[in-house]
Amino acid sequence: MRTQSSHPAEEKQEGMDPGRLGLAWGFVISVVLSAALVISAAKAGITPGVSPLVVLVGWVSLGAVLGPRLKRFLAISQVTGSAGAAVTAGVVFTAPIIQILYAELGLEVPVVNVPRLIVASLSGALLGFGFVGLATRRFLTDPRLPAPEAVAADRLIETAVERPEERPRLGPSLGAGLVAGFFAQGAILLGWLREEIFTFTWHLRRIGPSGLELDLPIPAAPIYLGIGALLTLPTAILVFAGGLVNALTTGYAAAAGMPDTTFRWIGGAAMVVAVLYSLVSYLLEGRRDNVAAVDSGSADALLELSPRMRLLLYASIVSGAVLLLLLMVLAGAATSAVVILGGVALLLVSLLSGLGGLLSLQVGSSASPVSGTVFMGMLVLSLTALGIGLTGVEGVVLLVPLVVAACVAICAANDSSQDYKTMQLNGYRVEDGFLGQLLGLIGGAIVVPLTLWLAHEAYTLGSPDLPAPQASFFATVLQSLFLDAEIPLGPVTVGGALGLLAVGIEAAGKRRGLILSSLAFAVGIYLPSVIGTGIILGSIARFLGARGNRPASHGGILNAAGLITGDALASLILGVLIIAGVDYTGWGPATAPGALSGLGGGGALVLMLAAIAWNHRRGSAVNN
């Protein structure tokens, strides 16, 4: 591990303190990223880890100006800048439950309650920040945890400081991705390009009462390709495999006259098995780690928390708990419900935020499906609510803000454990990043609810434009629990069996040093199959381009991030125009372009995949 003393010139530079500059810069990046990723999260159901991206943007923007002071600036800005995206995931995965459930019940769909959602987001952010901060030593003293995003960010910072000439050019990477993502998605929204350019169809006549049709669409959506290019190939393969199960289940359900939500139950049951396995492993490994730490007497001065910081962390937990209770009071909950549900929610957050932080360090925040741990927490809260007599739509309305807060807390843990590891790897006290993490979370907690309101008003949460896969799945479960009182045992049994198979594969891979997340497979089942197809295409392009290169390709990361951000930016701008009442229908073709739009979409797909591969093949140096 490198230490602070390895760069003494950093401390002797005059001018603005790089730590404070990192806080300011990171806060701006956090707000922009958290808002930009709202629509992408609602479309794809997956949010990538953004810490390496934040480091890259800081390096190419201010690297030449800061010189030796760059290291601390990058370390602080990556903690601050990535925090808001954690709030995006926490909110988008859960808050749309209300709108989707009302629509499925044929009721008048309510608007997004921005003030209440801000309170729920702040509650979760404060709770996650406090619990993970207090558990930092446990996470960061385990040498077996690979912490992939932290290692990637650490290598970027090391390269930026020691080899500044390798700073990537923004034009061919981030710039090209932004332009391609923006215009491709804009053309899709206006009808010039077809989003699903082709669909592979297989007719399986021997399956089901009358045979079934298995459809596998090929998308040209930039967001799916960009996310795939940021995921590891094994994770992308598992998500794609889940998508194949989704396509098979959807076809079978249609042929057999089963509900079109059958795939959600299969994915949910598989997820329960995967989460239980992860939770048991977390508890058992945590006990062994604590015993080993006591026996060895190991310690790391960088992980020590000052009394003042401990007080701040405890105050954060208390503040988050107060806001959590306030949410239930505002929803009209009885005193008994406030006490019982509030107590169970706090216990779950303390446990599941720890699990989220650990899973992130095991498989990376991009590959750590936090929706699985959230689903487990939601089930426990739901059963508790039913046990105290809460039922119907009113019970769901009371429950959802608690689920939002829990999900934000878990996502905050998912992000911060990687960020704090980066601080440690760079030789800084981990608590030096706590203020930045808190500021970034607060910024996201304010801007994300506003952006979600805009997205719903423009495109409607739960619609084909914004399917919000996690929230749609959670809404199906809550409807069955609180309104229908019926669980489809057949799909649940099938999903449980698939979950056991996935857990067996994960355990076998772990013995061979491979990360094969059973949760990634389960998430892929309830994501629309088109998402898995787009993700695997982007990941394959990255794999083919990166063969023989160094593991980290700076230009490739920037290009993938550009595709995601450009896609989201086009959707946001058009959303603003829709809310403003601008008639954009005349901007698209007068008639459906048919084969021409499919051909254009295919051309866009090939160009974006080629750009991903080329940026990874170029490596990271400026002049190669």
In the predicted model, what is the mean pLDDT of residues 432-461? 95
| pLDDT greater than 80 at residue 148 | no
The residue with greater pLDDT, 93 or 255, is: 93
pLDDT reported for residue 112: 95
Contact by Cβ (8 Å): 121, 404:
yes
Say how far apart CA 502 and CA 246 lie, in whole Å.
15
Residue 621 confidence (pLDDT) above 50 = no
3-class DSSP state of 415? helix
d(CA 26, CA 40): 21
Tell me the pLDDT tens digit for each residue of 20-65: 999 999 999 999 989 988 988 888 887 777 888 888 888 888 887 8
Q: How many helices (H) and strands (E) does the chain have?
A: 22, 2
- Per mean pLDDT, which range of 141-145, 149-153, 285-289, 502-506 is the poorest? 285-289
Nearest partner of 242 among 500, 519, 543, judged by Cα:
519
d(CA 457, CA 580): 11
Position 149 pLDDT exceeds 80: no
Res. 429 pLDDT band, cuts 50 70 90: very high
* 222, 608 Cβ separation under 8 angstroms: yes
| Residues forming beta bridges with residue 204, ordered by sequence position | 212
Least confident window among 295-309, 345-359, 568-582:
295-309
Read off φ and ψ for residue 17, nearest 5 degrees. -60, 125
Which has more pLDDT, 127 or 391?
Answer: 127
Kindly state the percentage of the chain with pLDDT values over 70. Answer: 87
The string of DSSP letters for 32-79 reads: HHHHHHHHHHHHHS-----HHHHHHHHHHHHHHHHGGGHHHHHHHHHH
Report residue 610's pLDDT band, with 50, 70 and 90 as the boundaries.
very high
The encoded tokens of residue 171 equal 């034009």
Q: Report how far residue 468's alpha carbon sits from residue 44's, in angstroms, rounded to the nearest whole number.
A: 7
Q: How far is CA 389 from CA 58, 78, 342, 593, in A?
A: 52, 45, 15, 55
In this predicted structure, what is the pLDDT of residue 295? 43
Per DSSP, 510 falls in state: H
**β pairing state of 212-219 and 196-204:** antiparallel
How many whole angstroms separate alpha carbon 458 and alpha carbon 240? 30
Q: Of the candidates 615, 500, 474, which has an alpha carbon nearest to the alpha carbon of residue 99? A: 474
Residue of 251, 57, 278, 266 lying closest to 170 (CA atoms): 57
Report for 65-79, 107-121, 271-285: range of highest mean pLDDT: 107-121
Highest mean pLDDT among 309-323, 331-345, 401-415, 471-485: 309-323
Say what the pLDDT of residue 72 is. Answer: 92
Residue 91: strand pairing partners: none
pLDDT at 356 over 80: no
Helix, coil or strand: residue 27 = helix
- Three-state secondary-structure class, residue 176: helix
Q: How far apart are CA 240 and CA 254, in angstroms?
A: 21
pLDDT of residue 622: 37
pLDDT (tens digit, 9 = 90+) per residue, 197-251? 888 777 766 655 556 777 888 998 898 998 888 888 888 899 999 999 988 888 8
User: In a 10 Å sphere around its CB, with 0-12 CB exposed, 13-18 middle and 19+ buried, how is residue 554 labelled?
Assistant: buried
- Gap between the Cα atoms of 61 and 55, Å rounded: 10
Fill in the amino acid letter for 342: G
Q: Which of 439, 442, 434 is nearest to 416 (CA)?
A: 434
Say yes or no to pLDDT of 110 above 60: yes
pTM as predicted: 0.85
382 touches 358 (CB < 8 A): no
What's the burial of 388, exposed, middle or buried (CB within 10 Å: 0-12/13-18/19+)? middle
pLDDT at position 288 is 53
pLDDT of residue 607: 93
pLDDT over threshold 60, residue 549: no
Q: Are 320 and 412 spatial neighbours (Cβ–Cβ below 8 Å)?
A: no
